[in-house]
């Protein structure tokens, strides 16, 4: 009897708990699913109108001709015969000062039937011998017509019949997202092609103390050996000369080309006179930093220190002296030598400019200088 009473008491407790849980909303209610052939409940569906129902509708067909990808193979087939592998040789010394011959590989593109070839300055810099290999297998010696370190461009010349050459395009017409093709001697293993898009325009980038401007950034793979090769649009026109890539563990598919519109006047000058004429001050410079300032006991720790002045140069004529520190050029603050180079190159030959400088303890001294034309490398 006692056991039965205890069970009855337990049952009553459980019933009370279940009622309390039900009232507090803790029970899980499963939805009642309608039969598959039952009509939808009007309270569960949005308002529907028959106005746009069309029994004859089908999925639209796609015009494949209007959505086709660019014909990259045709671009490569057309331009590849004008792309060359460039091989250079120079004499270098090892750590024991023993001389040996070092070879390097790059690329170039033939731009006319006379055999002029565009490449990068860094491809041929210091080279004692330069050879190019054509697409048909011919290997020919190449002469260096001229180089320009400031823009990293160079022009070579070969003498051969039946030369294919590429056409130069207009890089000002490029848009971010345009397709691009890079052709070159990637990794020194022969001419190959990669494709990508234009990802940025008008890029400036500091490279080894120099600033390259008006660069085209592309996702087309740029590898060692591609330097100097062409970057092409889908018309098969050269829109840039591949120059550098960013190499880092966290960087992928970021390459740069010198825009062809920036390259054209440099190429023309190199072919016509062997060098590029620019405004000229006539000084040798050192960037001033706290270490240089302390070493030479300078009154400022930023600017450019004149280490040498060429006789009868604009700087010499204006009265500047070795040891002067230039801190402002034509209302442009000068913190380092690159600042000064950029400021000078933004001027015209013959332009008169104001230079603010420091001499010994005298600061903010001013002199006016008339820039001359840069002398040729042979003067």
Indicate whether 177 and 269 sit together in one domain: yes
Query: Which CATH number characterizes residue 335's domain?
Result: 2.30.42.10
Q: Rounded to 5 degrees, what angle do the CA atoms 34, 40, 42 make?
A: 125
Contact at 8 Å (CB) between 230 and 109?
A: yes
Does residue 6 sit within a domain? no
Stated pTM of the model:
0.72
Active-site residue, 52 included: no
Active-site residue, 152 included: yes
Indicate whether 294 and 366 sit together in one domain: yes
User: Which of 82, 227, 269, 337 is the catalytic position?
Assistant: 227
User: Which of 85, 148, 152, 243 is the catalytic position?
Assistant: 152
> DSSP secondary structure string, 238-264?
EEEEEEEE--BTTB-S-EEEEEHHHHH
Indicate whether 306 and 356 sit together in one domain: yes
Indicate whether 233 and 308 sit together in one domain: no
Indicate whether 219 and 194 sit together in one domain: yes
Q: What is the C-alpha to C-alpha distance for residues 175 and 182, in angstroms, rounded to an integer?
A: 17
Distances (CA, A) of 205 to 106, 189, 219, 245, 259: 21, 28, 16, 11, 13
Count the alpha carbons within 13 Å of 374 in the hemisphere toward its beta carbon.
Answer: 19
Does residue 302 sit within a domain? yes
Indicate whether 133 and 228 sit together in one domain: no
User: Which of 122, 243, 259, 262 is the catalytic position?
Assistant: 122
Owner of token pair 């160079």: 154
What's the number of domains the chain is made of?
A: 3
Which two structure tokens, joined as six digits, stand for 56? 């004859």
Q: With 0-12 CB in 10 A as exposed, 13-18 as middle and 19+ as buried, what is 275?
A: middle
Active-site residue, 64 included: no
* Per-residue confidence (pLDDT) for residue 223, from 0 to 100: 87
Does residue 11 sit within a domain? no
Does residue 243 sit within a domain? yes
Distances (CA, A) of 106 to 37, 209, 227: 73, 22, 5
Encode the chain (379 residues) as per-residue pLDDT tens digits. 455 555 555 555 555 555 544 444 433 444 444 544 545 555 555 555 567 656 776 666 655 555 566 789 999 999 999 999 999 999 888 888 888 888 889 999 999 999 999 999 999 988 899 999 999 999 999 999 999 988 999 999 999 999 999 999 999 999 999 999 999 999 888 999 999 999 999 998 877 767 788 999 999 988 888 999 999 999 999 999 998 765 444 555 578 999 999 999 999 999 999 889 899 999 988 899 999 999 989 999 999 999 999 999 999 999 999 999 999 999 999 998 888 988 998 899 999 999 999 999 898 999 999 999 988 776 6
Local structure of 13: helix, strand or coil: helix
* Per-residue confidence (pLDDT) for residue 188, from 0 to 100: 85
Domain that holds residue 123: 77-93+102-157
Indicate whether 326 and 361 sit together in one domain: yes
Query: Which CATH number characterizes residue 262's domain?
Result: 2.40.10.10
End-to-end CA distance of the chain: 127
Does residue 246 sit within a domain? yes
Last residue of a domain, one of 243, 273, 303: 273
Q: Rounded to 5 degrees, what angle do the CA atoms 124, 208, 190 make?
A: 40
């Amino acid at each position: 009897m006692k056991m039965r009473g205890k069970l009855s008491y337990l049952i009553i407790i459980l019933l009370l708990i279940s009622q309390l849980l039900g009232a507090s909303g803790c029970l899980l209610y499963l939805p009642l699913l309608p039969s598959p052939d039952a009509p939808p409940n009007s309270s569960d569906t949005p308002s529907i109108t028959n106005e746009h129902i069309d029994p004859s509708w089908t999925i639209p067909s796609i015009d494949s001709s209007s959505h086709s990808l660019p014909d990259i193979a045709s671009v490569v087939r057309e331009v590849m015969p004008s792309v060359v592998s460039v091989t250079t040789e120079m004499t270098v010394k090892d750590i024991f000062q023993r001389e040996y011959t070092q070879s390097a590989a790059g690329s170039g593109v033939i731009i006319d039937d006379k055999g002029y070839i565009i490449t990068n300055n860094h491809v041929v810099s210091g080279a004692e011998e330069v050879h190019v290999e054509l697409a048909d297998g011919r290997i020919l010696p190449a002469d260096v017509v001229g180089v320009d370190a400031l823009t990293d461009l160079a022009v070579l010349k070969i003498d051969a019949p039946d030369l294919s050459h590429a056409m130069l395009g207009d890089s000002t017409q490029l848009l971010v997202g345009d397709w691009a093709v890079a052709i070159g001697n990637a990794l020194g293993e022969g001419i190959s092609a990669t494709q990508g898009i234009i990802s940025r325009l008008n890029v400036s980038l500091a490279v080894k103390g120099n600033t390259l401007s008006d660069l085209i950034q592309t996702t087309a793979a740029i590898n060692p050996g591609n330097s100097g090769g062409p970057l092409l649009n889908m018309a098969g026109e050269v829109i840039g000369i591949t120059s550098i890539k960013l190499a880092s563990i966290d960087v992928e598919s970021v390459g740069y080309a010198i825009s062809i519109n920036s390259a054209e006047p440099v190429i023309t000058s190199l072919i016509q006179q062997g060098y590029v004429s620019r405004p000229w001050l006539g000084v040798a410079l050192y960037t001033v930093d706290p270490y240089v300032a302390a070493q030479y006991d300078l009154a400022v720790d930023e600017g450019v220190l004149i280490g040498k002045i060429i006789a009868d140069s604009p700087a010499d004529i204006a009265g500047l002296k070795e040891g002067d520190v230039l801190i402002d050029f034509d209302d442009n603050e000068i913190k380092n030598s690159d600042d000064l180079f950029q400021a000078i190159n933004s001027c015209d030959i013959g332009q008169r400019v104001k230079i603010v400088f420091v001499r010994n303890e005298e600061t903010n001294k001013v002199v006016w200088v008339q820039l001359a034309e840069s002398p040729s490398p042979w003067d």
